[in-house]
Structure 1
Amino acid sequence: MLNTSHRNKNEYIIGKFHRCSLPPGGLVHAVANRNWGRSRKISCKKIGDSTYMFYIPHAPTHQWVIQRGVWNIDDCLLFVLSWTPEDSFKFTELSTLPVWVTLMNISDSCYSRLGISHIASGLGEPILTHKP
């Protein structure tokens, strides 16, 4: 259970799932600890219909989670912000969201910046590529 009265308020993050069927609370806790809890144990508590409060006592991990902003738990997007007692969670409408895409069976003749850019142009602007 989270007790905000005895902890540093800067160590809290609010996460909100958007337009999806909520994953079970145990899964949210397990995935948060697997992804974020390498340095310290993460606590979480459901505080609304689709909102969780996470306690992340490790400052670099807290910054990393906030900087990334969007996480995926059980095929559901979790948007995160630093917690403040004054504000509620405010959603900004999304117009773009970076995603990883795996392009398979690209011929050697198309494996170039120009070729991959052409192939991926239907998806958006390619940012980075790794040769398998």
Structure 2
Amino acid sequence: MNLRQSTTSNDQDKIASTETGKVPDNTRSWSSLLSVLSKVRGKIPLLYTSCIGSEDNPVIEVDEDDFEMKNNKFEEFLVGSYIGKKLAYIFVKETLTKLWALKGEFEMSTKGFSMYFFKFSNQEDREKALEAGSQHIASRLFILRPWRPFIEVEKLELSTIPIWVVLKNVLINMRNHGGFGRIASSVGIPLYMNKTTEEGTWTTFSRVCVEISTKYKYPEVITLG
């Protein structure tokens, strides 16, 4: 029995191509092997976009308009970030639950980033958390902002931040724009009052938004001279 096989011209071309290091023309690409749909594969193909830069440091050119999302489900989210190293997930959620004291529940997730994403069960709770603004948690500054596109890559290297200052025992004659502005100036740059304070609703305290340095040390008492 003759076990030798005859070699055709096509076989010889394949051997020659292999010896010279060239890929034969009929070699199939990896993607072509997956042309048949499977249970784990999506139906919509992705588009290739050329990059700039080098192989060691490829650069992808991104235009926000190219990725504008209609009816974006993240528009109602708030995003929290620490200046510096972030704290443990459970500790942050338990602390904010006590600070915010919301009527409903809220979901907190990281989505793989070094920041926290908050989704609220109702709009009132979202507004309350946003009005509470930035907080100092375990002596670390926690900044809360509304979500916006590409917020994940924004750097939080801030020299100043806005905070809400609670003022107690404010004299009646100074419970106005001029008075609150002058008192808040002892803390930082006064910006505005909250709605309740501005409308003159009688409460045991007033709240004023002030811009301060991130290294600011809070005074416990402000003296009127």
TM-score between the two structures when normalised by the length of structure 1: 0.57
Mark the CA change 1:93 to 1:59 in structure 2 (over 3 Å): closer, same or farther: same
In 1, the alpha carbon distance for the partners of 2:138 and 2:125 equals 21
> CA shift at 1:24, angstroms?
1.1
In 1, the alpha carbon distance for the partners of 2:101 and 2:73 equals 17
Identity %: 15
C-alpha contact (below 8 Å) 1:29/1:43 kept by paired residues = no
Q: Does 1:88 align with 2:151?
A: yes
Aligned length: 106
SS of the residue aligned with 2:96? helix
Mark the CA change 1:35 to 1:58 in structure 2 (over 3 Å): closer, same or farther: farther
Paired letter, 1:24: A
Q: Deviations over 1:1-51 (max 9, x none)?
A: xxxxxx9534311111112x4221111111122222521112111235531
SS of the residue aligned with 1:26? helix
SS of the residue aligned with 1:11? coil
Aligned partner of 1:15 in structure 2 is 80
Mark the CA change 1:9 to 1:49 in structure 2 (over 3 Å): closer, same or farther: closer
Q: Does 1:30 align with 2:94?
A: yes
C-alpha contact (below 8 Å) 2:78/2:145 kept by paired residues = yes
SS of the residue aligned with 1:81? strand
Q: Does 1:41 align with 2:90?
A: no
In 2, the alpha carbon distance for the partners of 1:124 and 1:54 equals 29
Paired letter, 2:144: V
Aligned partner of 1:67 in structure 2 is 131
SS of the residue aligned with 2:105? coil
**Unpaired runs of 5+ in structure 2?**
1-71, 166-181, 191-205, 207-220
**Unpaired runs of 5+ in structure 1?**
1-6, 101-116
In 2, the alpha carbon distance for the partners of 1:125 and 1:80 equals 19
Max Rg structure: 2
User: Relative contact order (alpha carbons < 8 A, sep ≥ 6): 1 or 2 greater?
Assistant: 1
> CA shift at 1:94, angstroms?
2.8
Q: Does 1:52 align with 2:116?
A: yes
In 2, the alpha carbon distance for the partners of 1:80 and 1:44 equals 13
In 2, the alpha carbon distance for the partners of 1:94 and 1:48 equals 26
SS of the residue aligned with 2:108? strand
Aligned partner of 1:78 in structure 2 is 142
Aligned partner of 1:103 in structure 2 is none
